[in-house]
């Protein structure tokens, strides 16, 4: 091995959502500061396999901060200590030799644990299915430049659309609220002309589904945005509230 | 019929016969190139809406190709089931594409056209792709942008509100649409939202955390799949009238690549072993601009978008072993080797050429960084250029140098900010201050399942879309064309072409999963899983994967030669035997067990690796990403052999270590074949 950091890890182990879980302690030596946090976990898992123990299950895929799979709650913070960074891009140089690191899964009623650090985030997909789209079938589109969109609106829509759906906002929130995630999609489409036709009904349906999934209410604490690896702004929540209230005043549905 | 039976000991190659094998019918419509698709589209048989409801289609994978196909086919009225191994369809690896998507819109009025996009793609692919397919791709490219904008994809725009474009490698026009450095994410989320809309309406049934482990062929037609629920470990049988593999590429055969950790060849490989021919398996794209390997712990490589080559200049020091930081090496001591060797395209040469040029400089001892396996990508000139332009825009004509640099950095940040941040996060160096260090890495596979014009494989009813097929990029893909192809196949090709098959399936009726072939196939899958778990050897799947990757990278990577490939084939066969006697898979098959999933995938990668080496060994020429050291010009450029190798290699699996080569001759009626030159 190439590194010289030694770490103590307290990792949440849980067989499935039916059984109770608990922390296990592991020691890891020869960690390189250039490893990513997940590569450090790869090393841990190889060590566990060597010892004949089951490796720790954790979600991960692209390892470049964009797929939204990785989801570790590190030392009490989703995605660990840095701002604007997912676990997969967190590197061990952000920790010190001799540190004890506590790693837990996302904790929320709407995100049941599947195994160890892996949780079920299907609730997010169902919220999108409720209205997070423009109802345009393939083949119906007019020329892409026939409708100019002011650059500022396009840029704001893009900033909201940068959400990776990881669920850190829910994990960070004391109420396990999904308002930042839901508001990012509502904002993206409310800011663009293409989203106007369904603007009201979208806000109503997505909020209704969000509530049905068991996510908590928003108390404007702001932990969601502070911990969001893509730094999605709280402004989106304010916009969603305006969209929702406006929709409810004129509602004929939901 | 030209046939090569590959047996390593008695290997023979019938050199002068390239005529198309009778087993391969590309079904490209007759007539002039420009009207092939429009005529075919208007005459392909249709299925009436009442029948569509009774026809089931399975889609494997939910990246750009899979998500767009699943949503569009459901809109048309088919009963669709979609499968992904990730926890959500939104996580497919298309999401990580950075730079952009090409389309022949000619919004920049710079001379672009469908023909030019077609021509650039064929030439960029080093004349190893099929004219009819590529022209269709160029034709539908404009509709993709229209569709994405209508679906709410927030592309970058100019102040006037219209769409912005950038340049990409291998072209001289600006036809690339983008959303900062996250174009793939925005396009995939657009396709995903369309898919989720159908899921909400109940027209698509979505299976997350499910992996396809085999296809089921009944009476010569693909009739369904065996899938494994990765949470419970249960095997499931799913029947359908057609199965679409949209499962991406196989770059992870090299262990280190820019692919996601989960990207795998299993779906395509199972199909291959059940009769789907594998096209051009050795055509691999090595992307020139990736963050260099930092140590043995490395689990994957990270791309720095090709769009950076728009503004970044690539160089190495003129002196060997120059250890000064890049920003301290004076201008006259730098070798801008791409600009020197390829003045017409400069830093925007296609990927294969840029990668080989970087390797050449590093091999010659001019590499930088601690490993000496890196070159500089420098933005200092762009910062100054943009800074001056900003000063002029603001009507300031006596700006100080520091102001100009500050403005320039702000422009660069807007264009590439997320990439610069990512670089800094991974390397710990600030690319606004010092030049980036980059090195080539495996990125994409042009090869894939052989398909005809309808995107059907050699198994009736089994289709392959997007990176999973071989069809459009020849021996080298141009930047920003993968997103275009994925969405073209899913949104605008398969919804039409599938009619030619399904119109004959309306009398089939519901297919029973109790059929004996379903039972037998499920049993075979179960036995393989039990076998993997029973070995209880000493070596983890991860270590086998790493060893395979090293063989592949060293001997079937950026440069290949006969001896190395022959060695690799032997080493891979040994590795396979060792795997099946010494792999250690922890846990059981009755719950969420990523180790078992990995072992299953690595086993398939090992078999694929052998075929890739055999393919590379039989192609005695250099073209695109396939560079055989024996076949190069005096200046070190790739030397194609059109006389003997202008064909697609389609490999039929005959048994363990045994394949038969079928050739599809490539006929160019509309393009003049030329030695590819970017000088």
pLDDT at B10 over 80: no
If one counts every other C-beta atom within 10 angstroms of the C-beta of residue B45, the result is: 10
Among chain A residues, the shortest Cα distance to B152 is held by A194
Whether B192 and A140 lie within 8 Å, measured CB to CB: no
Whether A34 and B189 lie within 8 Å, measured CB to CB: no
pLDDT at B430 over 90: yes
Alpha helical stretches, state H, B300-379: 308-311, 337-341, 351-363
In this complex, which of B428, B491, B586 lies closest to A54 when CB atoms are compared? B586
Among chain B residues, the shortest Cα distance to A192 is held by B152
Chain B contact present for A223, CB below 8 A:
no
**Interface mutation vs chain B, best among A144, A149, A157, most B CBs within 10 Å:** A144
Instruction: Measure the CA–CA gap between B669 and B36, rounded to whole angstroms.
Output: 13
SS3 content of chain A, % helix, strand, coil (to 5): 40, 15, 50
Cβ-based contacts of A36 with chain B (< 8 Å): 299, 426
Confidence of residue B574 (pLDDT cuts 50, 70, 90): very high
Whether B591 and A16 lie within 8 Å, measured CB to CB: yes
Average pLDDT on A20-44 reads: 96
Average pLDDT on B596-606 reads: 98
For position B416, what pLDDT does the model report? 86
Chain A contact present for B72, CB below 8 A:
yes
Instruction: Measure the CA–CA gap between B125 and B17, rounded to whole angstroms.
Output: 22
Among chain B residues, the shortest Cα distance to A40 is held by B297
Closest by Cα among B33, B385, B73, B360 to B198: B73
Confidence of residue B417 (pLDDT cuts 50, 70, 90): confident
Among chain B residues, the shortest Cα distance to A84 is held by B421
**Whether B444 contacts B287, CB under 8 Å:** yes
What burial class does residue B436 get, using C-beta atoms within 10 Å of its C-beta: 0-12 exposed, 13-18 middle, 19+ buried?
Answer: buried
Q: By percentage, how much of chain A surpasses pLDDT 70?
A: 98
Confidence of residue B295 (pLDDT cuts 50, 70, 90): confident
In this complex, which of A3, A64, A118 lies closest to B96 when CB atoms are compared? A64
CA distances from B240 to B223, B509, B514 (A): 5, 10, 13
Mean pLDDT of chain B: 95
In this complex, which of B75, B95, B200 lies closest to A137 when CB atoms are compared? B75
In this complex, which of B231, B260, B296 lies closest to A62 when CB atoms are compared? B260
What is the rounded end-to-end Cα distance, in angstroms, of chain B? 40
Residue by residue, DSSP assigns B650-671 as EEEEEETTEEEEEEEE---SSS
User: Looking at A112-116, A121-125, A235-239, B14-18, which range is the least confident one?
Assistant: B14-18
Confidence of residue B5 (pLDDT cuts 50, 70, 90): very low
Average pLDDT on B515-522 reads: 98
pLDDT tens, residue by residue, A129-149: 999 999 999 998 999 999 999
Residue A152 tokens read as 């500022």
- How close A111 gets to chain B, by Cα (Å)? 12
Whether B206 and A125 lie within 8 Å, measured CB to CB: yes
- How close A178 gets to chain B, by Cα (Å)? 17
Confidence of residue B3 (pLDDT cuts 50, 70, 90): very low
pLDDT at B307 over 90: no
Instruction: Measure the CA–CA gap between A139 and B114, rounded to whole angstroms.
Output: 19
For position A2, what pLDDT does the model report? 64
Confidence of residue A38 (pLDDT cuts 50, 70, 90): very high
Count of helices and strands (H, E) across chain B: 20, 21
Whether B87 and A120 lie within 8 Å, measured CB to CB: yes
Confidence of residue A254 (pLDDT cuts 50, 70, 90): low
Chain A contact present for B140, CB below 8 A:
no
For position B305, what pLDDT does the model report? 86
Cβ-based contacts of A134 with chain B (< 8 Å): 150-152, 193
Whether A154 and B154 lie within 8 Å, measured CB to CB: yes
For position B1, what pLDDT does the model report? 39
CA distances from B324 to B230, B337, B365, B486 (A): 51, 19, 15, 43
Whether B495 and A138 lie within 8 Å, measured CB to CB: yes
Q: Across the A/B interface, how many CB contacts are shorter than 8 Å?
A: 226
For position B16, what pLDDT does the model report? 54
Instruction: Measure the CA–CA gap between B239 and B241, rounded to whole angstroms.
Output: 7
pLDDT tens, residue by residue, B323-359: 999 999 999 999 999 999 999 999 999 999 999 999 9
pLDDT at B11 over 50: no
pLDDT at B55 over 70: yes
Chain B contact present for A60, CB below 8 A:
yes
Mean pLDDT of chain A: 96
Q: Which three-class secondary structure string do you get for B589-625?
A: CCCCCHHHHHHHHHHHHHHHHHHHHHHHHHCCCCECC
Cβ-based contacts of B189 with chain A (< 8 Å): 161
What is the rounded end-to-end Cα distance, in angstroms, of chain A? 59
Average pLDDT on B94-98 reads: 95
Confidence of residue B674 (pLDDT cuts 50, 70, 90): confident
Confidence of residue B643 (pLDDT cuts 50, 70, 90): very high
Whether B154 and A2 lie within 8 Å, measured CB to CB: no
Instruction: Measure the CA–CA gap between B445 and B611, rounded to whole angstroms.
Output: 14
Cβ-based contacts of A147 with chain B (< 8 Å): 149
Residue B40 tokens read as 């075919």
Alpha helical stretches, state H, chain A: 37-50, 122-131, 151-161, 168-172, 179-191, 199-212, 223-227, 235-249
For position B298, what pLDDT does the model report? 94
Chain B contact present for A205, CB below 8 A:
no
Instruction: Measure the CA–CA gap between B431 and B243, rounded to whole angstroms.
Output: 46
- How close B69 gets to chain A, by Cα (Å)? 10
pLDDT at B237 over 90: yes
pLDDT at A3 over 90: no
Chain A contact present for B373, CB below 8 A:
no
Angle at which helices A199-212 and A179-191 cross, to 10°: 170
Whether A194 and B150 lie within 8 Å, measured CB to CB: yes
Q: By percentage, how much of chain B surpasses pLDDT 70?
A: 98
ipTM above 0.85, yes or no: yes
Grouping H, G, I as helix, E, B as strand and the rest as coil, residue B452 is coil
Cβ-based contacts of A130 with chain B (< 8 Å): 200
Cβ-based contacts of B591 with chain A (< 8 Å): 15-16, 115
Confidence of residue B296 (pLDDT cuts 50, 70, 90): confident
pLDDT at B515 over 70: yes
Whether A69 and B199 lie within 8 Å, measured CB to CB: no
For position B2, what pLDDT does the model report? 40
pLDDT tens, residue by residue, B175-206: 999 998 899 999 999 999 999 999 999 999 99
For position B584, what pLDDT does the model report? 97
Cβ-based contacts of A132 with chain B (< 8 Å): 193, 196
């Amino acid at each position: 091995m190439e590194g010289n950091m030694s770490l103590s890890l307290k990792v949440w182990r849980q067989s499935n959502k039916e059984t109770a879980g608990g922390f296990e302690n592991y020691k890891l030596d020869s960690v390189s500061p250039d490893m990513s946090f997940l590569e450090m976990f790869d090393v841990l898992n190889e060590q566990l396999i060597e010892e004949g123990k089951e490796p720790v299950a954790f979600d991960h895929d692209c390892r470049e901060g964009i797929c939204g799979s990785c989801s570790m709650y590190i030392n009490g913070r989703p995605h660990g200590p840095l701002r604007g960074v997912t676990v997969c891009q967190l590197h061990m140089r952000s920790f010190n030799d001799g540190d004890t690191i506590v790693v837990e899964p996302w904790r929320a009623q709407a995100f049941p644990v599947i195994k160890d650090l892996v949780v079920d985030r299907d609730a997010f997909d169902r919220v999108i299915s409720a209205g997070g789209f423009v109802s345009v079938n393939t083949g119906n589109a007019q020329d892409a430049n026939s409708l100019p969109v002011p650059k500022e609106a396009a840029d704001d829509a893009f900033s909201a659309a940068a959400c990776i759906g990881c669920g850190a906002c829910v994990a960070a929130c004391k109420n396990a609220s999904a308002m930042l995630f839901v508001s990012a999609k509502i904002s993206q489409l409310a800011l663009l002309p293409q989203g106007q036709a369904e603007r009201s009904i979208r806000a109503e349906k997505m909020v209704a589904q969000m509530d049905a999934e068991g996510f908590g209410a928003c108390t404007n604490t702001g932990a969601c945005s502070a911990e969001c690896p893509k730094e999605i702004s709280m402004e989106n929540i304010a916009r969603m509230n305006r969209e929702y209230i406006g929709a409810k005043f004129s509602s004929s549905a939901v | 019929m030209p046939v090569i039976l590959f047996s390593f000991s008695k290997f023979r190659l019938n050199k002068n016969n390239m005529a198309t094998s009778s087993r391969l019918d590309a079904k490209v419509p007759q007539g002039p190139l420009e009207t092939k698709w429009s005529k075919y589209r208007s005459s392909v048989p249709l299925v009436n809406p009442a029948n569509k409801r009774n026809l089931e289609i399975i889609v494997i994978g939910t990246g750009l190709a899979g998500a767009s196909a699943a949503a569009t086919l459901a809109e048309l009225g088919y009963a669709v089931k979609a499968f992904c191994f990730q926890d959500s369809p939104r996580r497919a690896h298309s999401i990580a594409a950075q730079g952009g998507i090409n389309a022949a819109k000619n919004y920049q009025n710079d001379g672009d056209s469908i023909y030019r996009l077609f021509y650039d793609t064929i030439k960029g692919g080093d004349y190893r792709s099929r004219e009819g397919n590529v022209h269709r791709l160029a034709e539908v490219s404009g509709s993709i942008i229209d569709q994405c904008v209508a679906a709410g994809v927030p592309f970058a725009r100019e102040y006037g509100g219209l769409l912005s474009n950038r340049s990409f490698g291998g072209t001289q026009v600006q036809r690339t649409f983008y959303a900062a450095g996250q174009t793939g994410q925005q396009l995939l989320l657009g396709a995903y939202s369309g898919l989720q809309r159908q899921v909400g309406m109940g027209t698509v049934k979505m299976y997350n955390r499910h992996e396809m482990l085999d296809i089921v062929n009944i009476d010569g037609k693909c009739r369904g799949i065996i899938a494994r629920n990765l949470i419970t470990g249960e095997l499931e049988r799913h029947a359908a009238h057609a199965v679409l593999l949209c499962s991406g590429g196989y770059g992870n055969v090299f262990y280190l690549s820019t692919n996601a950790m989960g990207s795998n060849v299993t779906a395509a490989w199972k199909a291959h072993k059940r009769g789907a021919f594998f096209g051009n398996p050795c055509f691999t794209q090595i992307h020139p601009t990736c963050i260099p390997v930092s140590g043995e712990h490395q689990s994957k490589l990270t791309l720095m978008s090709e769009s950076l080559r728009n503004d970044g200049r690539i160089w190495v020091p003129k002196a060997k072993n120059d250890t000064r930081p890049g920003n301290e090496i004076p201008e006259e001591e730098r070798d801008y080797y791409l600009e020197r060797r390829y003045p017409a395209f400069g830093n925007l040469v296609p990927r294969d050429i840029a990668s080989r040029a970087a390797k050449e400089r590093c091999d010659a001892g001019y590499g930088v960084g601690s490993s000496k396996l890196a070159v500089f990508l420098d933005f200092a000139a762009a910062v100054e250029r943009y800074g001056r332009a900003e000063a002029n825009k603001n009507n300031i004509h006596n700006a100080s140098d520091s102001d100009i640099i500050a403005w320039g950095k702000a422009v660069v940040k807007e264009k590439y900010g997320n990439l610069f941040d990512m670089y800094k996060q991974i390397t710990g160096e600030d690319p606004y201050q010092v030049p980036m260090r980059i090195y080539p890495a495996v990125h994409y596979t042009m090869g894939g399942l052989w398909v005809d014009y309808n995107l059907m494989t050699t198994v009736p009813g089994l289709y392959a879309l997007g990176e999973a097929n071989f069809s459009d990029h020849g021996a080298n893909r141009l930047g920003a064309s993968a997103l275009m192809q994925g969405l073209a196949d899913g949104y605008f090709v398969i919804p039409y072409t599938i009619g030619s098959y399904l119109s004959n399936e309306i009398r089939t009726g519901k297919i029973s999963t109790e059929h004996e072939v379903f039972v037998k196939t499920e049993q075979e899958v179960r036995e393989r899983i039990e076998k993997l778990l029973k070995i209880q050897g000493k070596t983890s799947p991860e270590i086998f994967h790493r060893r395979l990757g090293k063989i592949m990278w060293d001997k079937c990577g950026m440069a290949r030669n006969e001896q190395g490939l022959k060695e690799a084939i032997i080493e891979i066969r040994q590795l396979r035997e060792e795997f099946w006697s010494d792999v250690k898979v922890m846990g059981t098959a009755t719950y969420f067990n990523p180790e078992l999933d990995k072992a299953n995938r690595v086993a398939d990668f090992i078999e694929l690796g052998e075929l890739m080496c055999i393919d590379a060994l039989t192609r005695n020429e250099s073209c695109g990403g396939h560079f055989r050291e024996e076949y190069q010009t005096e200046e070190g450029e790739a030397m194609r052999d059109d006389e003997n190798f202008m064909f697609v290699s389609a490999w039929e699996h005959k048994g363990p270590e045994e394949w038969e080569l079928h050739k599809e001759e490539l006929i160019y009626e509309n393009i003049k074949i030329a030695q590819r030159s970017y000088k």
